């Protein structure tokens, strides 16, 4: 009986969905084409594992602007540089808002930067962007990042001298966490993986819950069974927020006594607020949520890119040798590189760009929503749809990139590189482009530069490492171990 009733319900839903799809569009209101979607799951059966690769396959049939359904969420995926510009730049007023799922609302409460919209987002984004601009010119703060990259190189030393293999990703993650922790709390943690700072432990738990969170966002009914996950997420977020609140209080007190004493990003942020026309708008809730945003958005992204870069340099030992020779020439033989020496390392800079192209960790960027109907070439993206930028697909387009699946840094050095800006968007594009891109590039340059100056990296078994990776909270490498030889 139950099966019979369920079949009837599914059949009715199927008909409703079919009729809705048919009736939604007049001639001038054509939605982008896409595969047929099933009731409840939409196209999840086609997209659930490695969605960036699944979308590549579907694109062959449906083209560069395509409609798919993540469960019942209507989603348009854009893989064409001209349409990206049309949608995210020319119609930015209709496409700057984030598509907010339940987990995003829990994290941001619509009072942060990653997951807020409207005037609230605009005000906080402006202050944060100004703070990042000033950070770049603040010698004392950039010096801290430089010193942290020397500590990262030291952290590999034990493995090199003892001959033990190590997973470099775990140390890269500690490095990017330490950078953000110093920018926000003036604290750092040991690289000893057994003695981790409580914030790092809490953040790891948050990331674990987020991986499960995706399923809950698509099927809220599962909340009944996975209540524990929500409680775990909230407890760990609370730990990060409380820690941030303490730090905000200390920073405010220090700046009220000495407004000129700027030691980190949080100081810059608070002093920008103090000198803004409406400082009372920026309450402590907004501030502590921005702190957790920076930990969430600015650590796994940069460290995964560093892991990809090292992986491709292991698989291409000639490139690794060439980078090291260039770095040693730039530093005059010293084992530590400075940001001021960036202009002397064009080949290494090209390798960083190539890693960001070939394995963009934000392979589908962060979702936006069409707040009104949006024109996209001959199609209309219906108000309320989720919109994704196909960052990975753009980087794999053979009409733009010669042999796109090959790690080839030379493509960035050739004088006839002529692809559109919107074909290479690892940091997204338009009004919500990544605010931390410059910091990320500096971290990758210093962190990977310094370890390459000190060690030769090889795979554990001497064979090339799997370079396909997997889609977790970001496009990540598979776990891999390296053998190190000290130089
Ligand atoms: C290689 C490293 C990184 C990559 C690939 C990356 C990528 C991205 C992407 C694709 C977006 C969405 C952009 C859009 O919607 O158009 C984004 C947003 C953002 N990123 Fe990054 N990111 C990186 C590092 C960082 C760092 C180091 C920070 C800060 C410490 C950061 C902070 C943010 C923030 C706050 C946003 C939200 C901006 C907004 O909604 O207005 N990211 N990032």
In 71-173, the DSSP E strands lie at 73-78
Q: CA-based Rg of the chain, rounded to a whole angstrom?
A: 23
Q: Is the pLDDT confidence value at 473 over 80?
A: no
Predicted local distance difference test score (pLDDT) of residue 194: 77
Closest by Cα among 437, 471, 432 to 115: 432
Q: How confident is the model at residue 89 (pLDDT cuts 50, 70, 90)?
A: very high
Could you tell me the distance, in angstroms and rounded to a whole number, from the CA of residue 102 to the centre of ligand 1? Answer: 20
The predicted pLDDT at position 211 comes to 65
Checking 431-438 for CB contacts under 8 A at 24+ apart, the result is 431/88, 431/92, 431/96, 432/96, 432/98, 432/125, 432/366, 432/368, 434/297, 434/362, 435/113, 435/125, 435/128, 435/129, 435/132, 436/132, 436/294, 436/297, 436/298, 436/302, 438/132, 438/136
pLDDT band at 12 (very low <50, low <70, confident <90, very high): low
Q: What is the mean pLDDT of residues 454-469?
A: 96
Higher pLDDT, 49 or 325: 325
Distance 352 CA to ligand 1 centre (A): 17
Could you report the predicted ipTM of this complex, rounded to two decimals?
0.99
Judge contact between 352 and 445, C-beta under 8 A.
yes
* Ligand 1 centroid distance, CA of 133 (Å): 15
Nearest to 475 by CA among 381, 364, 368, 350: 364
349-394 pLDDT, tens digit per residue, is 999 999 999 999 999 999 999 999 999 999 999 999 999 999 999 9
Nearest CA to ligand 1 atom 24: 298
For ligand 1, what atom is nearest to the CA of residue 440? 27
Strands 374-376 and 368-369: unpaired
Task: Average the pLDDT over 305-333 and give the result.
Answer: 98
CA of residue 135 to ligand 1 center, whole Å: 16
**Would you state the pLDDT for residue 228?**
78
Q: Say if residue 76's pLDDT is above 90.
A: yes
pLDDT of residue 204: 83
Q: Supply 410's token pair.
A: 């030379």
The end-to-end CA distance of the chain, in Å, is 73
Q: Which of 110, 120, 427, 445 to mutate to test the pocket of ligand 1 (most atoms within 8 A of CB)?
A: 427
pLDDT at 11 over 70: no
The Å distance, Cα 366 to ligand 1 centre, comes to 9
Ligand 1 atom closest to residue 425's alpha carbon, by position in its atom list: 10
Per-residue pLDDT at 102? 85
pLDDT tier at 474 (50, 70, 90 boundaries)? Answer: confident
Q: How many CB atoms lie within 10 A of CB 398?
A: 9
Quick: pLDDT tens for 187-244.
888 888 777 788 888 888 888 777 665 777 877 777 776 677 788 888 989 999 999 9
Q: Determine which residue's CA is closest to atom 40 belonging to ligand 1.
A: 114
The predicted structure's pLDDT at residue 142? 86
pTM score: 0.93
Ligand 1 nearest atom to the CA of residue 474, by list position: 5
**Pairing between β-strand 73-78 and β-strand 386-389 as defined by DSSP bridges:** parallel
Using the mean position of ligand 1's atoms as its centre, give its distance from the Cα of residue 434 in Å. Answer: 3
Mean pLDDT of the chain: 90
Is residue 434 a known part of a binding site? yes
Tokens of 274: 């103090």
Residue 63 has pLDDT above 80, yes or no: yes
pLDDT digits (tens, 9 = 90+) for 21-31: 545 555 568 99
Residues having CB within 6 Å of any atom of ligand 1: 113-114, 125, 180, 293-294, 297-298, 301-302, 305, 361-362, 365-366, 426-430, 432-436, 439-440
Of the candidates 274, 272, 197, 279, the residue with the CA atom closest to the CA atom of residue 240: 197
pLDDT tens-digit series, residues 406-456: 999 999 998 666 667 899 999 999 999 999 999 999 999 999 999 999 999
Q: Is residue 127 scored above 90 in pLDDT?
A: yes
């Amino acid at each position: 009986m139950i099966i019979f009733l369920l079949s009837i319900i599914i059949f009715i839903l199927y008909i409703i969905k079919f009729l809705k799809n048919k009736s939604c569009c007049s001639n001038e209101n054509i939605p982008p084409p896409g595969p047929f979607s099933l009731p409840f799951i939409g196209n999840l059966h086609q997209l659930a594992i490695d969605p960036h690769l699944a979308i590549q396959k579907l694109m062959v049939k449906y083209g560069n602007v395509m409609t798919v359904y993540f469960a019942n969420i209507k989603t348009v995926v854009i893989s064409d540089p001209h349409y990206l510009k049309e949608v995210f730049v020319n119609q930015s007023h209709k496409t700057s808002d984030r598509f907010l799922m339940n987990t995003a609302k829990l994290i941001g409460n619509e009072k942060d930067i990653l997951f807020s919209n409207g005037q609230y987002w605009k005000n906080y984004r402006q202050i944060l962007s100004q703070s990042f601009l000033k950070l770049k010119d603040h010698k004392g703060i950039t010096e801290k990042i430089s010193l942290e990259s020397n500590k990262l190189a030291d952290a590999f030393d034990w493995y090199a001298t003892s001959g033990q293999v190590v997973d470099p990703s775990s140390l890269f993650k500690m490095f990017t966490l330490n950078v953000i922790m110093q920018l926000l709390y003036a604290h750092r943690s040991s690289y000893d993986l057994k003695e981790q700072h409580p914030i790092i432990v809490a953040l790891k738990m948050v990331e674990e819950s987020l991986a499960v969170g995706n399923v809950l966002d698509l099927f809220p009914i599962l909340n009944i069974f996975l209540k524990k996950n929500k409680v775990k997420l909230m407890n760990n977020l609370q730990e990060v927020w409380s820690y941030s609140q303490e730090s905000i209080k200390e920073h405010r007190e220090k700046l009220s006594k000495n407004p000129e004493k700027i030691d980190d990003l949080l100081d810059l942020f608070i002093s920008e607020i103090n000198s803004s026309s409406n400082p009372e708008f920026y309450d402590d809730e907004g501030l502590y949520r921005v702190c957790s945003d920076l930990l969430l958005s600015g650590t796994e992204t940069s460290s995964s890119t560093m892991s990809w870069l090292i992986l491709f340099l292991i698989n291409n030992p000639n490139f690794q040798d060439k980078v090291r020779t260039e770095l040693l020439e730039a530093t005059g033989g010293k084992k530590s590189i400075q940001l001021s020496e960036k202009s002397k390392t064009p080949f290494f800079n090209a390798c960083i760009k190539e890693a960001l192209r070939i394995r963009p960790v934000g392979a589908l960027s962060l979702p936006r929503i069409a707040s009104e109907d949006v024109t996209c070439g001959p199609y209309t993206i219906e108000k309320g749809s989720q919109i994704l930028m196909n960052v990975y697909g753009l980087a794999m387009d053979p009409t733009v990139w010669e042999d796109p699946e090959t790690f080839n840094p030379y493509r960035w050095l050739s004088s006839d590189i002529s692809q559109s800006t919107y074909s290479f968007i690892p940091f997204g594009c338009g009004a919500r482009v990544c605010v931390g891109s410059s910091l990320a590039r500096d971290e990758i340059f210093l962190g990977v530069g310094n370890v390459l100056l000190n060690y030769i990296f090889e795979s554990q078994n001497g064979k090339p490492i799997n370079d396909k990776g997997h889609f977790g909270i970001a496009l990540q490498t598979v776990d891999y171990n390296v053998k190190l030889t000290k130089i």
